[in-house]
Amino acid sequence: MYFFDLDHTILDFERSEVESLLELFKARDIDLSEEQVRSYQSINSKWWGYLEKGTRNKEEVVVGRFREYCDSIDVSFDPEELNDEYLTRLSRKAYFLPGAREFLTTLRRQGKRMAIITNGVYRVQHNRFLSAGLPEFFEFSLSSEEAGVAKPDPGIFHEAIRRAGVQRNEVVYIGDSLESDYRGAENAGIDFIWFGKHVRRNKGPVNIARNYDELLMLLV
């Protein structure tokens, strides 16, 4: 069975993120520059890193990122209000990465079993999972909120394995992050494929795929 990360692996998170962020601040009469968007992405990545390291919980992460970001651009909006509206906007946006739908269609035709494991906020990821039509391909989507732990904690993988009714040696996990996906798969004792344009040999896992064609060759 194949377990997949969702964002940057199947869905284009960056497009959804940027659109939601621009809309969020445009509604407050602020037109963010490209530099300011990149600044948010850097701050956001740092805060999600805290979750992966176990030093912050998800509630602290999603509000803390906006508190720091507002300080950085010298505005005084309520970070909790910003986060709530941002998540609502984000939950309405789901775009496939180029070639993802065709790749999934091929695996489905071959009768492959598939599921999603994500650290993202449940209400966002669940809505995006549905709006993208992903139940057509995946048996379920498991979030860290549902599992009670976040990648790279092996517990989320153990829960996915339990739900799927399979054994560890019957699972391959595919994701884009060395920190959460690769470490998590290692911690859970399951096979892993590092996926994305950014992957490099001798930087992590033995099995890598830079695009869906390469990934398909590894999976079939």
| 60, 91, 122 - which closes a domain | 91
Do both 7 and 111 map to the same domain? yes
Do both 185 and 153 map to the same domain? yes
Torsion of CA 62, 178, 124, 149, to 10 degrees: -70
pLDDT of residue 52: 87
pLDDT of residue 202: 76
Do both 175 and 68 map to the same domain? no
pLDDT of residue 200: 87
pLDDT of residue 201: 84
| 91, 116, 151 - which closes a domain | 91
Which residue type, as a one-letter code, is found at position 23?
Answer: E
Q: What is the distance between the alpha carbons of residues 208 and 217, in angstroms, rounded to a whole number?
A: 11
Digits of tens for pLDDT over the chain (220 positions)?
A: 999 999 999 999 999 999 999 999 999 999 999 999 999 999 999 999 999 888 999 999 999 999 999 999 999 999 999 999 999 999 999 999 999 999 999 999 999 999 999 998 999 999 999 999 999 999 999 999 999 999 999 999 999 999 999 999 999 999 999 999 999 999 999 999 999 999 988 777 889 999 999 999 999 7
Do both 112 and 184 map to the same domain? yes
Q: Are 139 and 113 in contact (CB under 8 A)?
A: yes
Question: In the chain, how many domains are there?
Answer: 2
Do both 131 and 23 map to the same domain? no
Do both 8 and 20 map to the same domain? no
Q: Domain span at residue 146?
A: 2-12+96-219
pLDDT of residue 108: 97
Q: Which residues of 182-220 are buried (b: 16+ CB within 10 A; e: fewer)?
A: bbbbbbbebbbbbbbeebeeeebbebbbeebeebbeebe
Q: What is the CATH number of the domain that holds 44?
A: 1.10.150.240
Do both 21 and 121 map to the same domain? no
Q: To which residue do tokens 């033995």 refer?
A: 206
Adjacent-strand bridge partners of 212: none
Do both 32 and 105 map to the same domain? no
